[in-house]
Structure 1
Amino acid sequence: MKFNGFIITYNRPKELLETIQKVFAQSYPPQSLWIIDNSSDDLTEKEMNSFLTEKIKYHRIGYNAGPAGAAVKGLELCVADGADWVYWGDDDDPPPFTDTFEKLFSLIDEIDDVSKTAQVGLVGTLFNNMKGEFRRFTDSELKGKKILEVDSIAGNQSKIVNKMVIQSGAMPCENLFFGFEELDFDLKAKELGFKSYINGTLNFELRKKYKKDNFKAGIIRKRKIENLWRQYYSTRNLLFILQRNRFYSALNYQILKMIIRAIFSFKFGLNYGMKTTKFTFYGILDFIRGVKGQLLQK
């Protein structure tokens, strides 16, 4: 069995090198790692030149393709190298435990039908097709559950993908650029008959590590105002994904919910509310117009 991986990076050479070191410090590391560089300058490329080996390979996109476009390239390159399983990583979010990969492959060993397994990962959620909402597991649902089926495994959660699902045609849509590209991939894999799993016990250990046990759903959290531009992509892309999957009830529900949440965002201040409303409005508008790709940044 060949285990390869890729890490997506954008203008963060220092964080990238630290993450590479932590990935190869795993008790069960990948045999090789592609660096997929979205950077707008050549600093990362210059930094990587002295680190390239048979184990570390480099591919510069040449423009900012976003996490979605970079993920497509990473999946393609790893499968072309003969990988059976592919680690889908990010430059500032290494595996949180030194034995994360080892435990995830132990999980794979216990799955009855590996040929129909799309992926395994650390943290996963269920997805409500009628509302277009994610549901996280409670602590009690995670405890003692080594094998737990999920609908989606988010990015930066030690996502390890089976080559068979990639060869079957499941790929994230490159034109999403940023936001929910993992959900897009996961739903395509599910549509093809593949299943996704997490190690529930390991997920619960992660919550305790970051003091996030006693999880409670339904809390509206305030974003950092400098990150509100992301609302545009999460709004637009979720609506595109719901439409593609013909989840029309969820599509209508989400548009209404997005409008209501934009209105309630004013409780965090006028400037916060105005920015949230602007990005939400443009996200809905570009969905209606069928516009994809990179349109907004900070």
Structure 2
Amino acid sequence: MCAVVVTYNRPEKLAKTLQLLLGQTYSLQKIIVIDNASDERTKDLLSHFKSRSEIVEVHYLLENRGGSGGFHEGMRLAMESGEDWVWIMDDDAYPTPDCLYKLVMASADAPVRVAVQVDQLGQKYGIYRWDNAVKALPVDDNQLYQPIDLFAFVGPCFRREVVVAVGLPRADFFICADDWEYSLRIKGKGFSAVAVTNAIIHHNYGETSRVVERFSRKSVRDGQPAWKQYYAARNEIEILRSSNSDSLVKAKYARNLLVKWLRITIGEIVFEANLSKIKYRMKGIFDGLIGKMGKIK
């Protein structure tokens, strides 16, 4: 069993993640850390953990390849080392001590097992189905294994056979929707996935939300940087472009994307008066349509 952690300039969060991985009740044989060309603070921290534990293995990338590039590299290394299971996450994912035990020991036959996420407010989430759009469903604590179609790269656990059959995450997404694309590839190959509802990861994604009131209406606005809208839009179009679905299914997916972007854009205009997000989204849509992938310069 191998864990893969992707990090970029968040040493405080990374330290907590690594401590929790080393303290799992189901012991890991290896922890592969992919460092996306972080600064010296992160390198010093990783040197400290390497000296503390022989199972921590660090690979330093020469440039920031984003989350998707990091997961691509980390899972490639895990497969090359012959691991039967691989467990992946960002550096702001904090699994409870028994999280891995509950994933691996689950009686479900599914070769993909996903922990339930808990946000900073204590709310559980991470149950997603697919109907030509992402459908978030409530976590049912009375159901130990909830079938899912989609998952975030925050604690999914894969059997080796899945990665061998499906391949690696796409490195050219850089960030955003690489997990949706990988989920759909897994679904397309006929592999089942479940969320193990008592396996918990606290996800400290660090984006401060705020409540904004306009015209007697309130809206919760997230704190995501504007540039992320580029990758979110472009990569969702790439998922549509690369899909093997028939034209009718693709048309439904495209319609759902347009409706979603219109709703988001109206919210940004009304509640944020933020044109930068809209500009990034429009550029992402254009680059997605022409198939321009990778990191924007």
| TM-score, structure 1 as length reference | 0.82
Query: Comparing both structures, which one devotes a greater share of its residues to helix?
Result: 1
Aligned pairs for 1:102-141 within 5 A: 102-107=101-106, 110-112=107-109, 117-122=111-116, 123-129=126-132, 132=133, 134-139=134-139
Match of 2:295?
294
Is contact 1:7-1:34 (8 Å) kept?
Answer: yes
1:268 aligns to 2:271 (yes or no) = yes
* Aligned mates of 1:257, 1:111 — CA distance in 2: 34
Equivalent of residue 182 in structure 2, options 185, 188, 197: 185
Query: Comparing both structures, which one devotes a greater share of its residues to strand?
Result: 2
After TM superposition, give the deviation of residue 55 of structure 1 in Å. 0.4
Is contact 1:104-1:121 (8 Å) kept?
Answer: yes
The alignment partner of 2:169 has SS state of coil
Per-residue Cα deviation, 1:106-154 (whole angstroms, up to 9, x for no partner): 22xx124x5xx2343323311112xx2x222235xx1311122100121
Is contact 1:119-1:197 (8 Å) kept?
Answer: yes
Per-residue Cα deviation, 1:154-211 (whole angstroms, up to 9, x for no partner): 122x2111111111133221110000111111111111111111123556x979xxxx
1:159 aligns to 2:160 (yes or no) = no
After TM superposition, give the deviation of residue 241 of structure 1 in Å. 0.8
Match of 1:73?
73
Is contact 1:150-1:198 (8 Å) kept?
Answer: yes
* Aligned mates of 2:219, 2:238 — CA distance in 1: 23
Aligned pairs for 1:42-57 within 5 A: 42-52=40-50, 53-57=53-57
After TM superposition, give the deviation of residue 74 of structure 1 in Å. 0.7
The alignment partner of 1:235 has SS state of helix
Aligned pairs for 1:89-238 within 5 A: 89-95=89-95, 97-107=96-106, 110-112=107-109, 117-122=111-116, 123-129=126-132, 132=133, 134-139=134-139, 142-156=140-154, 158-202=155-199, 221-224=220-223, 227-238=225-236
After TM superposition, give the deviation of residue 290 of structure 1 in Å. 1.2
* Aligned mates of 2:42, 2:115 — CA distance in 1: 28
Match of 1:254?
257
Is contact 1:145-1:201 (8 Å) kept?
Answer: no
After TM superposition, give the deviation of residue 69 of structure 1 in Å. 0.7
After TM superposition, give the deviation of residue 24 of structure 1 in Å. 1.2
Per-residue Cα deviation, 1:257-289 (whole angstroms, up to 9, x for no partner): 31343133211142x2x1221122111111112
How many residue pairs were aligned? Answer: 267
The alignment partner of 1:295 has SS state of coil
Is contact 1:124-1:154 (8 Å) kept?
Answer: no
Per-residue Cα deviation, 1:46-90 (whole angstroms, up to 9, x for no partner): 332233243000101110111001101111111212211111011
Match of 1:214?
none
* Aligned mates of 2:55, 2:21 — CA distance in 1: 12
Is contact 2:33-2:59 (8 Å) kept?
Answer: yes
Per-residue Cα deviation, 1:26-65 (whole angstroms, up to 9, x for no partner): 2213221011000243442333223324300010111011
| Cα pair distance change 1:13/1:288, threshold 3 Å | same
After TM superposition, give the deviation of residue 99 of structure 1 in Å. 1.1
* Aligned mates of 1:89, 1:173 — CA distance in 2: 16
Match of 2:84?
84
| Cα pair distance change 1:281/1:199, threshold 3 Å | same
Is contact 1:38-1:70 (8 Å) kept?
Answer: yes
| Gap runs ≥5 in structure 2 | 117-125, 204-217
| TM-score, structure 2 as length reference | 0.82
